[in-house]
Amino acid sequence: MLNLDKLVINGQKPLMGEVSISGAKNAAVAIIPAALLVEGTCRIENVPNINDVKILMDILTGLGVKVEYEDKNTLVINSQGVNSYKASYEMVKSLRASYYLLGSLLGRFKKAEVAFPGGCDFGFRPIDQHIKGFEALGAKVEIQHGIVNVSADRLIGTQIYLDVVSVGATINLMLAACLCEGTTIIENPAKEPHIVDIANFLNAMGANIKGAGTDSIKIKGVEKLEGNATYTLIPDQIEAGTFMIAAAATRGNVKVKNIIPKHMESLTAKMLEMNITVEEGDDYIRVIGKDKLNKVNIKTLPYPGFPTDLHPQATVLLCLAEGISTMTESVWDSRFQYVDELKRMGAQIKVEGRMALVEGGYNLTGAPIKATDLRAGAALVIAAMAAEGRTEIHNIKYIDRGYENLEEKLRALGADITRLTY
C-alpha cells in the first residue's frame, strides 16, 4: 500500500539538466475550495497532480460538486449542484487545508459546518484569526463536538486587523468576503505569492479584490461569482526552492524552469551568500553548486522573508557548509522533527528553542530514516542525494501529498532514486 512505500537513494550523484516546476500546491488547495463560490464552471490549469488535490476533489464531490480531470493537470469544476454545507471529520481529517471550506461555504450558503482541522505534523494549528474575521463579518462561530459551526443572517463588510500574519486566515477571509454586502478591508494580511493567485482567481470569476500582496486587501462584495472562465495556477515557489537546494547540495548544475524568479529572492540571496552560483532568467533560475560553501544564518519569516516551507531543505545545505550556521524558525512553534533523522546521517545539529545550530562540513552518510512531514521529507531526499552510500526513506506518504512526480523529476536529472512499493 502507498503508506508503506519507501524511497531508496544512492547518493553523491550531481544533479544535471533541466526541471520544469509544477503548479503551486498551496494555491491549488485554496483555489479548489474557492470554486465552491462560483455558480458556473471553472477550468483550472497547471494543477499539481498530488494527493492533497485528490483528497480535495473527493471532498467537493461529496458536497455535490461536479469535478473532472480534463487532463492530468487541468481540473474542471462546476459547483452549481453543490447541495451541502457540511464537511465531516471523515471527509476532512487527512487535509489541514480543509479549513478553506469554512470561508467558501460561509460565503456561498451563509453557513458552514466543517470538522476542526486539528493538529498538524509539526504542532497545533490555531484558527483564532479565521474565527475573529468571520465574526467581524457578522457570523456566529461555535465549536462543538469537534465541528466548527459558522452561520450568519447577513455578512457585512468591515475592517479586520489580523494579529498574526496568517496565510490561511487571509485567504479564508477573502473567500468569505467576496460575496459580502459592502467592503471588507484586511489589514496586516499575508503576502505570499499564492495570496495574490487566489485573489486573481476570484477576480477572474467576477470578484472585486484589490491590494492582494500588499499591506492591505480591499474586497468589495459582489452579488454573484459567475465563473465560466479558465485560470492558470502560478508555479510552486517551494517546489522550485527544493530543486534549487537539491542542485546545490549535490554540487550539480540545474536549470529550474517555469518559475517566477522574484518569488525565489530570499533563497537566491542566501545561496549567493553561501558562494553558490545562481543565474536568473525571465522564467528560470540556474543553480550551479560549489565544493566549498560559506556558513550563513537563516531566519524564516512570512513572505517576502525566507519561507518556513524551505527551512528543513535549507538546513541540509547548512550541514554542507564549513563552520557553524544557524536556522531560526519564526513562523511555526516547532518544525525540527527532521533534525533527529539528519543526525542519523551524521549531521551535527543542536536545537535550542526555535534555533538550530548546525556545525557543517561533516560527511553525511546514508541511513534508514523517515519523513516526519512534507517538507521534512523533501529535506531528507536532498540529504540522501548529498550523502555517501545508500539511504532508505520511510513514511513517504508525506512527500506524495505535495510534490508531483518528485522521484521521476530527480531521476531525469541523474539521481539514483527508486520507489519500492508494498
CA–CA distance, 313 with 244 (Å, rounded to integer):
10
Please, what's the largest Cα pairwise distance for the chain?
63
Query: Per rule CB under 6 A, is residue 186 in the interface with ligand EPU?
Result: no
First to last CA, the chain: 5
x/- mask, ligand EPU, residues 302-341, rule CB under 6 A, reads ------xx---------------------xx---------
Residue in the structure block whose three cell numbers are 540545474: 254
DSSP 101-166: HHHHHHHHHSEEEEE----BTTB----HHHHHHHHHTT-EEEEETTEEEEE-S--B--EEE-SS--
Question: Measured at CB, which residue is nearest to ligand EPU?
Answer: 168
Q: Which position among 125, 251, 397, 411 is part of the footprint of ligand EPU (CB under 6 A)?
A: 125
CB 263 to ligand EPU: min, Å: 13
Q: Would the CA dihedral through 307, 354, 99, 203 be positive or negative?
A: negative
CB 29 to ligand EPU: min, Å: 5
Instruction: Give Cα separations from 330 to 147, 302, 391, 399 (angstroms).
Output: 29, 9, 30, 23
Q: Which position among 143, 164, 272, 420 is part of the footprint of ligand EPU (CB under 6 A)?
A: 164
| Window 84 to 123, contacts with ligand EPU (CB under 6 A) | 97
The one-letter code for the residue type at 269 is: A
- Picking from 393, 392, 419, the residue whose alpha carbon sits closest to that of residue 405 is 419
| Window 193 to 232, contacts with ligand EPU (CB under 6 A) | none
Cβ distance to ligand EPU smaller for residue 243 or 367: 243
Q: Is 178 a catalytic residue?
A: no
Residue in the structure block whose three cell numbers are 457585512: 156
Cβ distance to ligand EPU smaller for residue 321 or 399: 399
Q: Which stretch binds ligand EPU (CB under 6 A): 53-61, 125-133, 142-150, 264-272?
A: 125-133
Cβ distance to ligand EPU smaller for residue 164 or 272: 164
Cβ distance to ligand EPU smaller for residue 129 or 372: 129
Instruction: Give Cα separations from 40 to 68, 138, 220, 261, 393 (angstroms).
Output: 14, 27, 20, 34, 43
Q: What phi and psi values does residue 421 have, to the nearest 5 degrees? A: -105, 135
CB 253 to ligand EPU: min, Å: 27
| Window 391 to 420, contacts with ligand EPU (CB under 6 A) | 402
Close Cβ partners of 10 (under 8 Å, ≥ 6 residues apart): 366, 389, 390, 416
Query: Per rule CB under 6 A, is residue 28 in the interface with ligand EPU?
Result: no
Q: Which position among 17, 64, 119, 126 is part of the footprint of ligand EPU (CB under 6 A)?
A: 126
> Are 230 and 45 contacting, i.e. CB atoms less than 8 angstroms apart?
yes
Cβ distance to ligand EPU smaller for residue 167 or 276: 167
Number of residues that bind ligand EPU (CB under 6 A): 22
Report the b/e string of 59-95 with b at 16+ CB within 10 A.
bbeebebebeeeeebebebbbeebeebbbeeebbeeb
CB 61 to ligand EPU: min, Å: 20
x/- mask, ligand EPU, residues 42-81, rule CB under 6 A, reads ----------------------------------------
Query: Per rule CB under 6 A, is residue 128 in the interface with ligand EPU?
Result: yes
Close Cβ partners of 417 (under 8 Å, ≥ 6 residues apart): 7, 8, 9, 381, 385, 407, 410, 411
Query: Per rule CB under 6 A, is residue 129 in the interface with ligand EPU?
Result: yes
- Picking from 390, 388, 396, the residue whose alpha carbon sits closest to that of residue 420 is 396
Q: Which position among 46, 78, 166, 237 is part of the footprint of ligand EPU (CB under 6 A)?
A: 166
Q: Which position among 130, 191, 255, 270 is part of the footprint of ligand EPU (CB under 6 A)?
A: 130
Task: Spot the catalytic one: 120, 178, 180, 319.
Answer: 120
- Picking from 136, 118, 117, 32, the residue whose alpha carbon sits closest to that of residue 75 is 32
> Are 386 and 249 contacting, i.e. CB atoms less than 8 angstroms apart?
yes
| Window 238 to 297, contacts with ligand EPU (CB under 6 A) | none
Cβ distance to ligand EPU smaller for residue 295 or 397: 397
Q: Would the CA dihedral through 269, 270, 274, 279 be positive or negative?
A: negative
Q: Which position among 29, 179, 219, 415 is part of the footprint of ligand EPU (CB under 6 A)?
A: 29
Active-site residues, by number, are 120
Which residues lie near ligand EPU (CB under 6 A)? 26, 29, 97, 125-130, 164, 166-169, 190, 308-309, 331-332, 374-375, 402
